[in-house]
Amino acid sequence: MTFPARRIRRLRISPRMRDLVQETTLTARDLICPVFVQEGLKTRFNIGSMSEVERLPLDDVNGEIETITDLGIPAVMLFGIPKSKDDAGTSAFDDAGIVQESISQIRQNFGDKIVVVSDVCLCQYTSTGHCGILSGNKIDNDQSVETLAKIAVSHARAGVDTVSPSAMMDGQVAAIRTALDDEGFTDVSIMPHSAKHSSSFYSPFRDAAECTPQFGDRRTYQVPFTNAREAISEVESDINEGVDMVMIKPALAYLDLIAETRRRFTVPIAAYNVSGEYALVKGAAMQGWINEKDVMTEILYSIKRAGADMIVSYFAKPAAELLRS
């Protein structure tokens, strides 16, 4: 059928008609809110390059989780900033570390009212700022994987629901699954940053988490932004290693990969709407060049339309608030 018999605009004739044919939905339940907790911090610290995102002291974590659950957001993703860093990243698997303390505090106070996802990586904890452990001037993949498994187990001991390895080391998912199961944590799920690209969109996060590499870059472990098949291979190998969910990261410049992952696999897909994507919107809004709420909404819907089941976003709180009203 073609024009004039076919008039697609009939579906847009009124708000109610548009509601009826709306294909993509977005609710607070689709969102995961990142939370930064810093060891030894006294009061909330504003992250300059990420307007309205703060690092929290441990004492503020409960209040923050309350705000997040009140908004109907089902999950948080915890990032820790430790007091001390060393070559081996030992503060990352310390049972009394900042993330471990946060997890157990949330677990005690909120039970199953919130899904606690923890970032499992080394870059905040190593003196080099790299996501793996160096031997000489090279990342030692297999030794890094062993440490990542230790971190995951320490988070599990604290009561985490889901561990989210973001180091992009080969074999990290299999090693973590085995280590968790060996320790009896068969119910702890894994949501790795599966296709994590070497991206310039992460720079505000590196201010937030103090994890800028002290030399070189992350190109020997993160996926080049030019390679889609390689990204899909990362997703596929993670699935084969035993994930529960996969993640594509960043989100907005990588919608094709979200869609491709949706077409090929059945696992739940998370998309990480990263710090640089947030900063672009905030920066333009502060200049008065765009309407922040409208652009935020459009971006989040686009990520869902591409096929994501859930979105990790620094917009989680304002988006949930807007969606509620």
Helix (H) or strand (E) holding 228: helix 228-241
Indicate which single residue of 44, 107, 157, 206 sits in contact with ligand PBG (rule: CB under 6 A): 206
Q: How far apart are the C-alpha atoms of 104 and 155, rounded to whole Å?
A: 9
Cα radius of gyration (the chain): 20
323 makes contact with ligand PBG (CB under 6 A): no
265, amino acid identity: F
Q: Does 121 bind ligand PBG (CB under 6 A)?
A: yes
Residue 161-200 contact track with ligand PBG, rule CB under 6 A, x = bound: -----x----------------------------------
* Contacts of ligand PBG in 131-150 (CB under 6 A): 131
Among the residue ranges 107-115, 116-124, 254-262, 290-298, the one whose residues contact ligand PBG (CB under 6 A): 116-124
Q: Which residue is nearest to ligand PBG (CB)?
A: 205
Which residues are registered as beta bridge partners of 80? 37
* First CA to last CA distance, the chain: 40
> 104 is written with which tokens?
């157990």
Residues in the chain: 325
E-assigned strands of 159-267?
162-165, 189-190, 195-196, 246-249
Count of residues of this chain found to bind ligand PBG when the rule CB under 6 A is applied: 12
CB of 70 vs ligand PBG, minimal distance in Å = 24
Smallest distance, ligand PBG to C-beta of residue 154, A: 17
By annotation, the residues acting in catalysis are: 196, 249
Of 55, 85, 155, 218, the one binding ligand PBG (CB under 6 A) is 218
In this structure, which amino acid lies at residue 7?
R
Q: What value, to the nearest 5°, has the Cα angle with vertex 163 and ends 157 and 166?
A: 135
Cβ neighbours, 10 Å, residue 217 = 11
Structure tokens at 202: 């992460």
Query: Among residues 93 and 205, whose Cβ is nearest to ligand PBG?
Result: 205
- How far from 219 is each of 94, 170, 196, 222, CA to CA, in Å? 28, 14, 11, 5
In the shown chain, the binding pattern of residues 84 to 113 toward ligand PBG, with x for contact by CB under 6 A and - for none, equals: ------------------------------
Q: Does 275 bind ligand PBG (CB under 6 A)?
A: yes
Residue bearing tokens 């973590």: 176
Task: Please pick, from the candidates 36, 93, 205, 315, the single residue that binds ligand PBG as defined by CB under 6 A.
Answer: 205
Q: Is 202 an interacting residue with respect to ligand PBG (CB under 6 A)?
A: yes
Contact between 274 and ligand PBG by CB under 6 A: the answer reads yes
Phi, psi values for residue 78, rounded to 5°: -90, 135
Contacting positions for ligand PBG (CB under 6 A): 119, 121, 123, 131, 166, 202, 205-206, 211, 218, 274-275
